Amino acid sequence: MSPPRLPPRVPFTSSTFERRDLIVIDDEPSVLAATVLCLDTPEWRPRGFADPVEALMFASDAEPTCIIADLKIPGIEDLDLVAAFCALRRHGVIILSAYVDVQMTVEAMRTGVDNVLVKPTSPEQLADAVRKTLAALDAAPVQDHLTFTRRERQVAELIVAGKRTKEIALDLGISPRTVEFFRASLLRKTHSTSTAGLGAALMRVGFYPDPRT
């Protein structure tokens, strides 16, 4: 069976939108507000999210844009958050975090992140990174097949095995909130209308229970 396809991507031009939405994710209200204010220009309309699941819902349906995400969202393990956004294959992703080292930067780039910035960063540096990310995104070939992250695949296999959130979290050694984040991601990617039907939808796109579970 062919993998599910993404909606067609419409390249951004000045005549397409009056302002381009950006997605900003940070659980610190003051930092989130400051970043949104910094990026609020006639060119861009930043959308701020403290909840990563809400950000995922918005990003799944949004026109291709730039996502600026903190790494340390409570309950979501490190690169799991940005990996899920990279796997949408619609957006450019920038990490903006105080917790950055060389190993993490290398891993982030392998995941598909476009840039890694260290907090605090200047408004000029952040704006420049956003412009470069958007330019690269608009110039890239359209990718119309969904991909699944390693963690999404692990969660999917346990969902089709009939396991509940707490059981999945225990099996994978992650938090229940992380499981719910990836459950929401899988719901969007499989176009499932309910959690009850998610297992069947996952099997239709090729997921089966891990025989070791």
Q: Mind listing the pLDDT tens digit for each residue in 37-47?
A: 999 999 999 99
Q: Do 95 and 115 meet the contact criterion of CB atoms below 8 Å apart?
A: yes
Residue 158 has pLDDT above 50, yes or no: yes
Residue type present at position 41: T
Q: Do 137 and 91 meet the contact criterion of CB atoms below 8 Å apart?
A: yes
In tens, the pLDDT along 56-111 reads 888 888 889 999 998 777 667 668 888 888 888 889 999 988 877 788 888 888 88
Q: How many CB atoms lie within 10 A of CB 40?
A: 14
Residue 29 has pLDDT above 80, yes or no: yes
What are the tokens at 126? 């952040």
Gap between the Cα atoms of 147 and 47, Å rounded: 25
Q: Which pLDDT belongs to residue 184?
A: 87
Domain boundaries, the chain: 20-139, 150-204
What are the tokens at 117? 């910035």
Residue 22: which of 55, 44, 53, 52 has the closest Cα? 44
Gap between the Cα atoms of 4 and 32, Å rounded: 33
More confident residue, 170 or 18: 170
Q: How many CB atoms lie within 10 A of CB 212?
A: 6
Residue ranges of E strands in the chain: 20-25, 44-49, 66-69, 92-97, 115-118
Q: Do 10 and 57 meet the contact criterion of CB atoms below 8 Å apart?
A: no
Gap between the Cα atoms of 48 and 50, Å rounded: 7
Angle at 48 (CA atoms; ends 176, 121), nearest 5 degrees: 100
Percent of the chain whose predicted confidence (pLDDT) is above 90: 30
What are the tokens at 146? 């969904």
Residue type present at position 124: E
Tell me the CATH architecture of domain 150-204.
Orthogonal Bundle (1.10)
Q: What is the mean pLDDT of the chain?
A: 82
Grade residue 201 by pLDDT with cuts at 50, 70 and 90. confident
Q: Which pLDDT belongs to residue 12?
A: 46
Tell me the CATH architecture of domain 20-139.
3-Layer(aba) Sandwich (3.40)
How far is residue 107 CA from its own chain's centroid? 16
Q: Do 125 and 96 meet the contact criterion of CB atoms below 8 Å apart?
A: no
Phi-psi domain of 112 (left: phi exceeds 0; alpha: psi -120 through 50; beta: other): left
